[in-house]
Chain A
Amino acid sequence: MTAQTHLPKIMPYGDHAMLVDWSIGEFSETINDAVHALAAKLRQSGKYSEIVPGYDSLVCVFDLAVRTGETTKRHIEDILKQNLSRKTEVDQIAEIPVHYGGENGPDMERICRAAKLSVGEVIALHSRETYRVCMMGFIPGFTFLSPAPQALHHPRLETPRAKVPAGSIGIANWQTGIYGLESPGGWQIIGRTPLSIFDSKRDTPFLLNAGDRVRFVPQ
């Protein structure tokens, strides 16, 4: 299935934003490419206060005093009619050291039970993949990666935690990702990296960017 044959739904998100939603219930690199290509075009237009791409969705925030939802929707439809192919540039494969389990991964046991695997097997599975950085967001430096191996898929916590430490590595359904900062959050935490993903004092505050490749190295 390609992004061209699978047209997204475009629907109002309240009175001052539009949601473009491709969601097909699974991860698709083609769709994630289309999301970022649409984001780039919308950003070029300079008409929107925020353009926030996701895995398979995008939110475009406008000023209701200046534009209507209808004109925004038409603008998005016009862009989608063009060919949104985008070459994915792989800038680097970042190696992320991870301390799995124990106090660094309080949800490791739950994932092991659900997957009927040992801690070692879960670590081996999770660190085997080379992941793609699909989006950044949630909080500064939160890194959303391409799917974790099927056996590790697990729903979010019923009630989100008030505090998840910076560097925590978690699972939410098929997603896996890294908390760039301490924050509240509902992902199942299986490990933690000592690397600082976001540091406002550095020349380049973000360690990773959408499009990068990432590999976890168990410590």
Chain B
Amino acid sequence: MTLTVLHSGTQTLIMDAGRPGHRHQGIPGGGAADKLSFAIANHLVGNRWDTPALECALGGLHIRFEKNHIIALSGAQMWSQNQGLNLPLNKAVPVEAGDILTMSFTRAGCRAYLAIAGGIEAEPFMGSVSTYMPAKLGGLDGEALKTGAVLRIGPKQDEPQSLPKGHTPILSNHVVLRAQQGPEWEALSDSAKRYLFTTPFYATAATDRMGTRLKGDQLTLENPVNMTSSPLLPGSLQVPPDGQPILALVDGHCTGGYARALQVIQADLWLLGQIAPGAAISFRRSLAEDAAAVLKRKNSFYADLIPGFSF
């Protein structure tokens, strides 16, 4: 029950639901950057939603299956093929021993999830096999998969499933995030407060699982903020004195010292995983009283489909 990595692509990582609860030790929760697409891929092949799967950023992953398996792809559209035949997204499909799956380059979104019935087996650290490269935790030796790596597949869990029409997320290269004011919102100048919710920003090449440096209108601070280091969360937009904001992502630092201008709402955190370098990003103001209702709607939309999953 194995598969072989023929080409590791831009960055392919073993991921599960992460290791929440250790930010006070400097260890981010991590896990699948786009939790929704990850959960869908697992659900389709009959796995529990949080079973370890592969997260392929940008594209380029080629693998050979050494046994017959049921697989599913979800997340970014990478025009994947098995034995030269196009593979649909968000559908469980059988593959045979010796089949070669190839993933091209993403057209929309950043990360594709490849779930295999039974899941990937790896050594957990602090309860999770999720790869956290900055500290070399989880995955295979805490690193991205290398060409030639051989992965073990666990025992089959349940029968494959399908998703009803309209339940698959549609990704775009313009990521719209609903956000609320962060703790240092008042440190921003009036123009910066206006720009944040009206003009789009672009994700620069400095984009990885930790964060993305954005380029856009210069955000000026009303007063220089010489902050004492304070806790920081995924989905926080920090504004350093140079005025080019940094959006913290799933592996983001646990504390920070720059003004926290915005915080993306819980219901939209999954989208942070689909920000590719070059993507346009817009922030939309979320009113405090709306966020709970938005989350409730999104959770109930998937509650009956994917047991145990919530945003």
State whether these chains interact.
yes
Whether A140 and B26, one on each chain, are in contact in the complex, defined by CB atoms closer than 8 angstroms, is yes
CA distance A186 to B17 in the complex (A): 30
Q: Is the CB of A15 within 8 A of B263?
A: yes
Q: Which residues of B contact A162 (CB under 8 A)?
A: 206
Contact across chains for B288 and A156 when beta carbons are under 8 A apart? no
A84 → chain B closest CB, angstroms: 17
A13 touches B233 (CB 8 A): yes
Contacts A21-B183, A137-B24, A159-B242 given; does A172 touch B295 at CB 8 Å? no
Residue-wise interface mask of A (134-152) relative to B, using a CB-CB cutoff of 8 A (1 in contact, 0 not): 0111111110100000000
A64 and B233 within 8 A (CB): no
Provided the pairs A65-B310, A173-B226, A184-B210 are in contact, do residues A39 and B24 lie with their beta carbons within 8 angstroms? yes
Verify A183–B134 contact, CB threshold 8 A: yes
Is the pair A15, B231 in contact by a Cβ cutoff of 8 Å?
no
Task: Report the minimum CB–CB distance from A146 to chain B (whole Å).
Answer: 12
Query: Total interface residues on A, using CB and 8 Å?
Result: 58
List residues of chain B with CB within 8 A of the CB of A27. Answer: 228
- CB atoms of A15 and B291 under 8 A apart: yes
Give Cα distance in the complex from A180 to B134, angstroms: 10
For window 176-198 of A, CB contacts with B under 8 Å fall at: 177, 180-184, 186, 198
Interface contact A139-B228, CB-CB below 8 Å: no
**Is the beta-carbon distance between A140 and B25 smaller than 8 angstroms?**
yes
Cβ–Cβ contact B228 & A54, under 8 A: yes
B237-261 vs A, CB cutoff 8 Å, 1 = contact: the mask equals 0001110101000000111111010
Which of A11, A64, A159, A181 has the most C-beta atoms of chain B within 10 angstroms of its own C-beta?
A64
Which residues of chain A are near B142, meaning CB under 8 Å?
200
Q: With A14-B263, A159-B240 as known contacts, state yes or no: A181 contacts B134, CB within 8 Å.
A: yes
A64 touches B253 (CB 8 A): no
- A50–B265 contact, CB under 8 A? no
B20 at the binding interface (Cβ < 8 Å): yes
Contacts of A198 in B (CB 8 A): 26, 135
A96-113 Cβ-contact flags toward B at 8 Å (1 or 0) = 000000000000000000
Whether the pair B233, A138 counts as a contact (CB closer than 8 A) is no
Flag whether A58 is at the interface (Cβ < 8 A).
yes
Known A-B contacts A136-B24, A137-B24, A200-B136; A16 and B265 likewise in contact (beta carbons under 8 Å): yes
Q: Among B20, B255, B295, which residue has its beta carbon within 8 angstroms of that of A138? A: B255
B264 proximal to A (CB < 8 A): yes
The answer to whether B97 has its CB under 8 Å from any CB of chain A is: no
Give min CB distance, A60 to chain B, whole Å. 9
- B296 within 8 Å of A by Cβ? yes
B235 at interface, CB cutoff 8 A: yes
Q: What 4 pairs across the A-B complex have the smallest Cβ distances? A: A14-B263, A59-B231, A15-B291, A52-B231
Beyond A14-B233, A54-B230, A186-B240, 14 additional pairs, beta carbon < 8 A = A50-B20, A55-B229, A59-B230, A61-B233, A65-B311, A135-B24, A139-B254, A156-B240, A174-B228, A180-B26, A182-B134, A198-B135, A200-B136, A206-B25
Interface residues of A (CB under 8 A from B): 11-17, 19, 21, 23, 27, 39, 49-59, 61, 63-65, 68-69, 135-142, 144, 155-156, 158-160, 162, 172-175, 177, 180-184, 186, 198, 200, 206
